[in-house]
A and B are shown apart, each in its own frame.
Chain A
Amino acid sequence: MNLTLKVWRQKSANSPGRFQDHTARNVMPDMSFLEMLDVVNEELAERGEEPIAFDSDCREGICGACSLVINGIPHGGNAGTATCQLHMRHFHDGQTITIEPWRARAFPPVKDLVVDRSAFDRIIQSGGFVSVNTGGTPDANALPIPKVDQELAMDAAACIGCGACVAACKNASAMLFVAAKVQHLALLPQGKVEANRRVLSMVEAMDAEGFGACSVTGSCEAVCPKQISLDFISRMNRDYLKA
């Protein structure tokens, strides 16, 4: 199939960006969205034009590097998948597809569809860790943890830090990311020790980065490739108020 791509092109952080039309020819339905862009880029390179810059790494939905707002929805709108897991069979011949970067003050543009997500790293640096010497691996049953807490902590730990929650939120709020990173540690005994200090400094870091506040619209949960629940935001709010 042949598609028209309306792609956001921006030379550098400081130059103005604009939409530019590109044509994707002979797209196979089994290609992933990123493979389709690779083909378009090959053509552009052959013609001596600047290829479209976009982030990607593992291409199997576990690293959190890929992004892209596709037709207005981060990761393209298929439940529980990242852009790299989106296949061209969800589009039809002749369709026009709009492709934009994550848009947030805290995610400044780098080039084309690539934005700088190091604001997330700085939030993690402010407290998203456990300060103990790990030593050797402990015995599996040395530290009993209730099944419910294990499962909840694993659900929160599924966050791959892609930033789709920020991209989808009308306020560009990072609450779902921060909540997941606070909760996957706070639910486990190793992380409980520093729980209060962690939630206070991570929320402070989040506000300082210039993310918006939560309006509880639920867009973040709807686009999250790991389907992280809004309940984690509620849990973080409780922990923050208690701390």
Chain B
Amino acid sequence: MNVIQKLFRSSLGKKTIMAITGILLFGFVIVHMLGNLQIFLGADVINTYAAFLKSKPALLWVARIGLLVLVGLHIGSAVQLSRQNRAARPIPYGDAKHPGASYASRTMLMSGLIVLAFIIYHLLHFTVAVPGVNLLGASAQLPNGDFLQLKDATGHQDVFRMLVLGFSNVWVSGFYIVGMALLCMHLSHGISSLFQSLGIRQHFCGQCLDRLAMLLAAIIFIGNSSIPIAILLGYGR
């Protein structure tokens, strides 16, 4: 059997794809969070960082397409595996209990789908910056309601003010925090279970992996949610 067949045909192969794409996507989430946290270093720092990223369009697009492929493989495998899993128990239990299974581990598909909905909104909100989705309307601070027209003194796009304005809406911030909570739950199971799928769990202590996953997931939640929370509490306004 060749490698491609093994990866895409068997349930174990699909789990391997989930694990590898999962690690890479988690890596992106970490880098993305560190980039975002520069908001606490002031407007200049984060605006210069954003301008630096935008100044390398080739690199930016390679990263974007790469992420799209990773997300596609992750979701594609998840959908196939979920269908196989559903089909494996046609008659449900009358009295279903789940000994030893955490809530997060049983709801990976649902938490994943909610995170996907969040990511789509997030892209429309800040990346494509569709004026209609920011729920702010046109104001003196934001002509046409368009984030991309915000410029700072040096002519760079003003990401700092975009975030401050964007998160000044309680509903938008609330959805971001909910999205991060679901991502946190997804990662709290995903990070430890990928060790299993890649076949290296036996070299670690299982409980330590579970705790490590919870710690990393909590760091992602606190780090990312701190931005809308800080802005709602008045930071940058």
Q: Which residues of A contact B (CB under 8 A)?
A: 6, 8, 17, 19, 69, 71-73, 77, 98, 100, 103-106, 168, 170-173, 200, 203-204, 206-207, 210-219, 221-223, 230-231, 233-241
Contact = CB atoms under 8 A, between A and B. Distances in A.
B198 A237 contact: yes
Interface stretch (B41-49, B80-88, B119-127): B80-88
Given A171-B89, A241-B199, A216 B189 contact: yes
A19 B84 CA distance: 27
Interface of B: 1, 6, 10-12, 14-16, 81, 84-85, 87-102, 105-106, 108, 189, 192-193, 195-202, 206
Contacts of B96: 72
Contact of A234 (B1, B16, B202): B202
A70 to B, nearest CB: 9
A105 B87 contact: yes
Contact of B105 (A8, A104, A212, A215): A215
A234 B85 contact: no
Contact of A216 (B11, B93, B95, B197): B197
Contact of A233 (B14, B101, B196): B196
| Most chain A beta-carbon neighbours within 10 Å: one of B6, B89, B192 | B89
A190 B65 CA distance: 48
A178 to B, nearest CB: 10
Given A214-B196, A218-B105, A72 B85 contact: no
Contact of B97 (A6, A71, A239): A71
20 contacts: A8-B94, A72-B96, A168-B98, A170-B98, A170-B106, A171-B85, A171-B88, A172-B88, A173-B88, A203-B10, A215-B108, A217-B101, A222-B100, A223-B100, A233-B196, A234-B199, A234-B200, A237-B198, A240-B199, A241-B198
Contacts of B199: 234-241
Contacts of A72: 93, 95-97
Given A103-B92, A216-B189, A223 B99 contact: yes
B102 A214 contact: no
Sort A-B residue pairs by CB-CB distance and give the 6 closest, nearest first. Answer: A238-B199, A222-B100, A72-B97, A212-B88, A217-B101, A216-B193
Contacts of A233: 196
Nearest to A74: B99
B85 A170 contact: yes
B88 A106 contact: yes
A234 B196 contact: yes
Given A72-B95, A216-B196, A218-B105, 4 more contacts: A72-B93, A212-B84, A212-B85, A234-B202
Nearest to B189: A216
A8 B88 CA distance: 20
B89 A219 contact: no
Nearest to B201: A234
Given A213-B11, A214-B11, A170 B101 contact: yes
A207 B11 contact: yes
A200 B10 CA distance: 10
A230 B101 contact: no
Contacts of B100: 217-219, 221-223
Contact of A217 (B12, B91, B95, B98): B98
A43 to B, nearest CB: 23
B98 A240 contact: no
A109 B100 CA distance: 26
A172 B89 contact: yes
A219 B108 contact: no
A19 B81 CA distance: 31
B212 to A, nearest CB: 14
A229 B7 CA distance: 25
A218 B210 CA distance: 11
A212 B195 CA distance: 19
A203 B199 CA distance: 15
